[in-house]
Each structure stands twice: as structure tokens, then as C-alpha cells.
């Protein structure tokens, strides 16, 4: 094959050879073969001095043309391959910015705390203030100041958790009710008194569907001139309507509490059976919601108020029970279960 023929062959084959190349690395090899020192073009240039002078212009022209064409074709192919590689990289390294971000888990108040806040707000809106008291309480405030006789069954160790503190084995206890806050507050403040006191209370109860050894109450106390049982009923009815809406029935039945006279219990119709009777309500159709009454004069005397000048009402409501009734939670103990699946339902 003559030099011209080889150059023509290179020129003719170049497009197909470049087309066959798929990576930039391969392209370099092929480029070297077609344009490098071992290529027919280099050879032709080296052989120019042996070419007859009259043929040189034609050969020289051919060399330049082929050189020009082939390198233009190589550059074009390089551009194509570089673009393809870039596109492939963009595809594999692609970040989908439309995906939702990973949201860190956020806490929320426990359902019992939500209800705690809500019922507190109902009374704050009525002009009540929030009062607080200790969870480790003295027998004086938990029982004596509240007109609870020495022999009252709730004082028994089977009902009350006593704290080993001081000489008297029954002097300090975990408060069994939020009622002692009444006595503490009245000792410190003159009437009129309008307070609520939400808090944690403790009893030596066996755990069942509606009892746990720790639970929550909100105490309320109103003391002023001429407060009657009618004020109590009106306030509690208003509270029940605010909290439950019109669907749940309420009713008062006579009861006994040492610190109120008369005393009553307010019941609500059972949220599980709607009054028919089931396990949750102990087959009665009603759930005890709270105890209440007109403050006993002995309590006023114990804290230094004059029972001939002031009167008052008080009640204590189970916060956990309110939460169960409103949200249809069948078991009180679920509130003390750290299972997030339980808690997450009530965000």
C-alpha cells in the first residue's frame, strides 16, 4: 500500500473507529494510533524528504487535510464522550432535593399534662389562681386540718404510703389527695379565696383498670361571703360543659368527706358503654369523677377562719380520669406506660 493509500484509508476509517470508542481513556489510545508518532501521518511527514519534489505539494496537502480532519473528528468525539460522562455522573450522584427531610422526633406534652393545663385554664379564666403544695406532706395537712378523725380508714397503712421521717411513724406521708393545699393556702391568705391546685397524689392501691398508686388530682377551693351549694353545682356544671361538651351526662349523689358538709360525688356517664354497664365503670354505667361539698366549719377553724363570716365550697377531681373519659382510654395504667405507641396517639 502506498503512503497515499494509507492516508486515504486512515481518513476513510477514522469516523467508524472514533464512533466505536466509548470512554475518554479509549479515545486517547485511538487518537495516539491515528495522530501519534507511530501513525501513518507521522510516517508520511518523516518520508517527505524522499518524495519527488514535484509530488511534494500534493502529498503535503493530503497530509494536512487528513491531519486536520482526523483531529477535528477526535476533538468532536472527545466533546461527546466528556458530555456523556458528565451526564452519567450527574445521574448517579443526583440528590433528590424534593424528598422530604428527616424530621427529628419531637416531644409533646403527655395527655395527662394536656388535660392538667386545660382544666387549670378553665378555672383561671373564671378568676381562680393556681396554688401549689408539697407531695411529701404532714399528716396534719393531709388529715387533721381537714377534719379527718384519728381513726379514719384512709389513714391506715393499707391506704396511705408513709415516709420514714422524724419520730412519729405516721407524721409524714405521700399526700393521698390535693386537699391539703386548701389548708396550707388558707393559713397563708385571708379570704376571699379562689384557687385550683393540680398535682400528683399517691395511694397504696392495687393497679387495675381505674387505679394506679400514683395519679393526679386538681383541687378547687372557693371561700367568700355567702357561698352555697348552689354555687358549687353551677361551677361544676359549667366546668363539665366546658370540658366534655354536651354529650356526657353528669349527676350528683350524696357522699361523705370529712372536710365538707354536705358532701357529694359528681358522676359522668361511662364513655365505654355509654351508661349500659361494663368493666370500666364496674357495671354501674357511671364513673366517679370528683368529690365535692360545702367546706366544713371545722376546717375553717383549723386554719383560723371565722365560719360565721365566710363559707365555701371545694372539690377534688381526678385528672387522669378526665383524660380517660374524654379520649376513651380504657385503662388508667396506659398513662404510666412508657410505650411511645401509646403516647404518640395523643399528641
Which span sits near ligand DAH by CB under 6 A: 4-12, 128-136, 206-214, 254-262? 254-262
State the number of binding residues for ligand DAH (CB under 6 A). Answer: 13
Query: Which C-beta is closer to ligand DAH: that of 191 or that of 291?
Result: 291
Are 219 and 259 in contact by the 8 Å Cβ rule? The answer is: no
Q: Which of residues 70 and 310 has its CB atom nearest to ligand DAH in the complex? A: 310
311, 294 Cβ separation under 8 angstroms: yes
- Minimum CB–partner distance for residue 153 and ligand DAH (Å): 13
Q: Are 73 and 30 in contact (CB under 8 A)?
A: no
Position 137 contacts ligand DAH (CB under 6 A): no
Q: Rule CB under 6 A: is residue 199 a binding residue for ligand DAH?
A: no
User: E strands along 144-239, which residues?
Assistant: 172-174, 193-202, 214-224
- 99: phi then psi, degrees, rounded to nearest 5: -65, 140
Q: Nearest distance from residue 96's CB to ligand DAH, in Å?
A: 58
Q: Which residues contact 48 (CB under 8 A, 6 or more apart)?
A: 56, 59, 60
Rounded least distance, CB 325 to ligand DAH, Å: 17
User: Beta strands of the chain (E only): which ranges?
Assistant: 129-130, 136-138, 172-174, 193-202, 214-224, 250-257, 260-269, 286-295, 311-318
Give the list of residues 6+ apart from residue 80 with CB closer than 8 angstroms, or none: none
Say which residues have a Cβ less than 8 Å from residue 276's Cβ, sequence separation at least 6: 270, 285
Cβ proximity to ligand DAH, 290 vs 329, nearer residue: 290
Q: Does 260 bind ligand DAH (CB under 6 A)?
A: yes
Cβ distance to ligand DAH smaller for residue 162 or 229: 229
Binds ligand DAH (CB under 6 A): choice among 177, 235, 280, 311: 177
Nearest residue (CB) to ligand DAH, 191 versus 293 = 293
Per CB under 6 A, 292 contacts ligand DAH = yes
Check residue 316 for interaction with ligand DAH (CB under 6 A): yes
Which residues sit at the interface with ligand DAH, rule CB under 6 A?
177, 179, 219, 257, 259-260, 263, 291-293, 314-316
Amino acid at each position: 500500500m502506498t503512503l497515499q493509500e494509507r492516508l486515504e484509508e486512515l481518513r476513510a476509517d477514522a469516523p467508524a473507529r472514533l464512533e466505536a470508542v466509548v470512554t475518554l481513556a479509549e479515545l486517547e489510545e485511538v487518537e495516539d494510533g491515528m495522530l501519534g508518532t507511530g501513525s501513518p501521518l507521522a510516517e508520511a511527514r518523516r518520508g517527505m524528504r524522499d518524495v519527488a519534489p514535484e509530488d511534494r505539494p500534493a502529498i503535503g496537502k493530503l497530509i494536512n487535510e487528513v491531519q486536520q480532519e482526523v483531529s477535528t473528528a477526535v476533538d468532536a468525539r472527545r466533546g461527546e464522550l466528556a458530555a456523556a460522562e458528565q451526564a452519567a455522573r450527574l445521574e448517579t450522584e443526583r440528590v433528590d432535593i424534593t424528598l422530604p427531610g428527616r424530621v427529628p422526633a419531637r416531644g409533646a406534652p403527655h395527655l395527662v399534662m394536656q388535660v392538667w393545663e386545660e382544666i387549670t385554664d378553665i378555672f383561671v379564666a373564671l378568676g381562680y389562681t393556681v396554688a401549689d403544695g408539697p407531695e411529701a406532706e404532714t399528716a396534719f395537712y393531709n388529715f387533721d386540718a381537714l377534719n379527718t378523725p384519728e381513726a379514719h380508714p384512709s389513714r391506715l397503712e393499707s391506704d396511705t404510703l408513709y415516709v420514714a421521717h422524724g419520730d412519729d411513724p405516721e407524721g409524714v406521708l405521700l399526700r393521698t389527695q390535693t386537699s391539703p393545699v386548701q389548708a396550707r393556702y388558707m393559713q397563708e391568705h385571708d379570704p376571699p379565696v379562689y384557687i385550683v391546685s393540680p398535682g400528683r397524689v399517691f395511694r397504696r392501691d392495687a393497679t387495675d383498670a381505674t387505679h394506679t398508686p400514683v395519679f393526679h388530682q386538681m383541687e378547687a377551693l372557693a371561700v367568700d361571703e355567702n357561698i352555697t351549694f348552689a354555687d358549687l353545682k353551677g361551677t361544676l356544671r359549667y366546668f363539665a360543659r366546658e370540658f366534655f361538651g354536651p354529650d356526657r351526662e353528669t349527676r350528683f349523689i350524696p357522699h361523705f368527706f370529712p372536710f365538707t358538709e354536705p358532701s357529694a360525688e359528681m358522676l359522668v356517664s361511662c364513655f365505654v358503654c355509654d351508661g349500659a354497664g361494663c368493666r370500666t365503670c364496674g357495671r354501674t354505667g357511671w364513673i366517679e369523677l370528683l368529690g365535692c361539698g360545702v367546706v366544713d366549719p371545722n376546717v375553717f377553724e383549723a386554719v383560723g377562719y371565722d365560719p360565721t363570716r365566710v363559707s365555701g365550697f371545694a372539690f377534688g377531681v381526678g385528672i387522669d380520669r378526665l383524660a380517660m373519659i374524654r379520649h376513651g382510654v380504657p385503662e388508667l395504667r396506659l398513662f404510666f406506660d412508657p410505650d411511645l405507641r401509646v403516647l404518640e396517639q395523643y399528641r
